């Protein structure tokens, strides 16, 4: 079924391009063609009725001082292939959803941009293919051909986003350079999104454990149905345990500074331009050099900061206010952690379904308005994470659009510290204190009644 959709999308695209080129007024017909293609792609990827966003800015410079009419991309200059490479958990999913809303697609089209969906970039598992004859990585033909057809449209830029590209090797990066910069003659701009480590790492933790990832199964399950050790299921560790295990090669004496440096190192020699999108920056520098106050909609800031020549799109979007959509919401893992702890202490029968026990605990907590006692990482871990996150912040800030190449200013350090304190206040690094709770009489009685009810 998946292959059928791919063939259908490509066939439609190829037909559209052929018609456009055959007609005398190439630009006018191409506009209609790309609009049709965008609608087809959008229909496959998003539900328009559920997509919304928010724009709330106060411009320091009036974004409408210039003519709102779209300025054509000069046909004698190379178009841009803007490639967003993540990393994951930096708003990538939300950006991709936002970009493929019908209104955004239409606006970007007026600024000569077409969109390449993530599922096309990462086709065949992860967008790359090892050629059997050379044992070298290469890009799959369908992806290359579709981008090539866009390149044949005068003045047409493209944008693609795929978080899987943050782990690209230097050899794979050279393939991108050869195919798109040399053979197809694009200006390749690579954009890396920045999220502070003290926010990024807890998000990675939650993303990994909110679903069941059993290596022998071809798919990821949404819920833990079995107790640890049964059918490959396992115990969710506390964040403290996760942190010590994941970064055991570095903690406590060293810090892994390669999180963003690795991405930069691999892409800097195979792109025309390499840029950091700082999601914490309160200002947005537009393509024409003007600086405006940023929106609370990160995707809008990204578009107006990182895409070349999108004056029409930004002029339209900065005038509107809409409800913000939150994607990829975190899951409270405490209920599952408490359930497993009770099971391991013989308070829960093995016959009970793990997920149903989790649901029962969650329902009980909400019904009785219970605040679960929390156990947070040690001060040594917190100090380590703070210093590590601050070091990466300093490295990043030296490379952003508003940087003068120096260390953090007092205001930047203050903003970082405020964000750190905000993160601590949410207790996102903390986990339910199971040892304390299971000794409480009310919880022991709750688990006893649960066993008797057999759920």
Read off the pLDDT of residues 322-380 as tens digits, 9 standing for 90 and up.
545 455 568 899 999 999 999 999 999 999 999 999 999 999 999 999 999 999 999 99
Residue 27: predicted pLDDT: 35
Count of other CB atoms within 10 angstroms of residue 384? 19
438 by Cβ neighbours in 10 Å (0-12 / 13-18 / 19+) ranks as middle
Alpha carbons 119 and 162: distance in angstroms, whole number: 8
Question: What sign does the CA torsion over 241, 87, 428, 397 have?
Answer: positive
Alpha carbons 20 and 332: distance in angstroms, whole number: 51
Residue 49: predicted pLDDT: 32
Strand partners, 128: 139
Residue 26: predicted pLDDT: 31
Residue 376: predicted pLDDT: 97
Instruction: Give the single-character DSSP code of 452.
Output: H
How far is C-alpha 301 from the chain's CA centre?
A: 15
Strand partners, 432: 374
Residues of the chain with pLDDT under 70: 1-76, 123-136, 214-219, 320-329, 455
Q: Name the token pair of 194.
A: 């920045």
Q: Name the token pair of 237.
A: 């560790």
pTM of the model: 0.79
* Structural contact between residues 408 and 196, judged by C-beta atoms closer than 8 angstroms: no
Count of other CB atoms within 10 angstroms of residue 207? 14
């Amino acid at each position: 079924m998946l292959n059928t959709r791919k063939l259908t999308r490509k066939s439609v695209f190829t037909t559209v391009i052929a018609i456009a080129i055959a007609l005398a007024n190439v630009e006018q017909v191409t506009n209609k063609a790309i609009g049709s293609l965008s609608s087809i792609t959008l229909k496959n990827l998003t539900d328009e009725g559920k997509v919304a966003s928010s724009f709330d800015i106060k411009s320091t410079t009036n974004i409408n001082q210039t003519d709102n009419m779209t300025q054509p991309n000069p046909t004698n200059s190379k178009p841009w292939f803007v490639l967003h490479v993540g990393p994951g958990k930096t708003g990538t999913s939300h950006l991709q959803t936002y970009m493929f809303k019908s209104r955004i697609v239409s606006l970007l089209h007026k600024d000569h941009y077409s969109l390449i969906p993530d599922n096309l970039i990462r086709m065949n598992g992860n967008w790359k293919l090892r050629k059997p004859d050379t044992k070298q990585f290469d890009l799959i033909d369908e992806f290359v051909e579709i981008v090539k057809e866009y390149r044949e449209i005068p003045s047409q830029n493209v944008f693609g986003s795929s978080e899987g590209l943050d782990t690209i090797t230097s050899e794979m990066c050279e393939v991108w350079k050869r195919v798109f910069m040399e053979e197809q003659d694009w200006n390749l701009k690579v954009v890396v999104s920045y999220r502070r480590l003290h926010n990024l790492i807890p998000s990675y933790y939650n993303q990994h454990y909110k679903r069941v990832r059993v290596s022998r199964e071809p798919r990821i399950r949404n819920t833990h149905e079995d107790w640890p050790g049964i059918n490959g299921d396992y115990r969710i560790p506390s964040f403290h345990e996760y942190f010590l295990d994941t970064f055991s090669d570095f903690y406590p004496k060293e810090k892994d500074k390669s999180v963003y440096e690795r991405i930069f190192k691999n892409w800097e020699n195979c792109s025309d331009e390499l840029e950091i999108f700082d999601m914490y920056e309160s200002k947005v520098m537009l393509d024409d050099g003007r600086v405006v106050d940023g929106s609370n909609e990160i995707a809008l800031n990204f578009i107006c900061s990182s895409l070349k020549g999108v004056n029409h799109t930004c002029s339209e979007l900065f005038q509107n206010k809409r409800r913000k959509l939150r994607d990829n919401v975190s899951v409270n893992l405490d209920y599952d952690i408490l359930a497993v702890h009770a099971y391991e202490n013989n308070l829960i029968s093995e016959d009970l379904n793990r997920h149903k026990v989790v649901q029962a605990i969650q329902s009980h907590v909400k019904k009785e308005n219970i605040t679960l006692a929390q156990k947070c990482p040690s001060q040594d871990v917190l100090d380590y994470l703070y210093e590590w996150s601050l070091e990466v912040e300093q490295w990043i800030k030296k490379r952003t659009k508003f940087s003068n190449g120096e260390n953090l200013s007092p205001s930047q350090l203050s903003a970082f510290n405020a964000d750190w304190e905000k993160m601590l206040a949410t207790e996102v690094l903390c986990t339910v204190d199971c040892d304390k709770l299971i000794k409480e009489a009310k919880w022991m009685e709750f688990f006893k009644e649960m066993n008797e009810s057999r759920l």
